[in-house]
């Protein structure tokens, strides 16, 4: 089994960062030709997802939708002031998996892998683990 981490640095409070190239690089460097890539984000105010990456308007729309679902202008009990970030993370989740085929992530034509920052800017880590067939 191959495993590792990638560093992710956000520059905005809420941001979808395309990490597809870094994940494919990790897969390629491992020599894994076929299997599963597990992605795990150990942060409570960030998430990981697979979604459309061809049109940046999709990420902008998602950010708007999440902002409407967990707005900043409510009175939250959590004293750090980042309850909306925790809620957004809970909606997406902290892990994902993708099949590996021909030495790369098996994604649809428009799909990309995104690290979702909801409490940035920050420096984060995303852990990956590959299981070969």
Q: Quick one: tokens of 98?
A: 């993708």
* C-alpha 18: how far from chain center: 8
SS3 106: coil
Give me the pLDDT at residue 127, please.
98
Instruction: Find tokens 């909306």 and name the residue.
Output: 84
Give me the pLDDT at residue 79, please.
81
Residues 58-105 pLDDT 10s? 999 999 999 999 998 888 889 888 999 999 999 999 999 999 999 999
Q: Which backbone phi and psi does 132 adopt, to 5 degrees?
A: -80, 150
**What distance in Å separates the CA atoms of residue 2 and residue 133, rounded to the nearest whole number?**
12
Average pLDDT of the chain, as a whole number: 96
Cis preceding linkage at 78, omega within 30: no
Tell me what percent of the residues of the chain surpass a pLDDT of 70: 100
Kindly list the distances between the CA atom of residue 103 and the CA atoms of 9, 53, 96, 126, in Å, as whole numbers in the listed order.
26, 20, 18, 20
pTM of this prediction? Answer: 0.95
Give me the pLDDT at residue 80, please.
87
Q: What is the DSSP letter of 107?
A: -
More confidently predicted of 49 and 77: 49
Give me the pLDDT at residue 89, please.
97
What's the Rg (C-alpha) of the chain? 15
Give me the pLDDT at residue 49, please.
98
| Superfamily (CATH H level) for 2-132 | YjbQ-like (2.60.120.460)
CA angle centred on 28, ends 22 and 31, rounded to 5°: 145
């Amino acid at each position: 089994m191959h495993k590792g981490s990638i560093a992710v640095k956000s520059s905005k409070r809420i941001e979808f960062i395309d990490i597809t190239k870094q994940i494919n690089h990790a897969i390629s460097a491992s020599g894994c030709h076929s299997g599963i890539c597990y992605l795990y984000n150990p942060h409570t105010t960030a998430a990981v997802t697979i979604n459309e990456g061809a049109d940046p308007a999709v990420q902008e729309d998602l950010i708007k939708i999440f902002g409407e679902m967990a707005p900043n202008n409510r009175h939250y009990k959590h004293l750090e002031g980042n309850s909306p970030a925790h809620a957004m993370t809970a909606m997406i989740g902290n892990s994902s998996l993708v099949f590996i085929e021909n030495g790369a992530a098996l994604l649809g034509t428009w799909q990309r892998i995104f690290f979702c920052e909801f409490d940035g800017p920050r420096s984060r880590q995303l852990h990956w683990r590959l299981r070969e067939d």
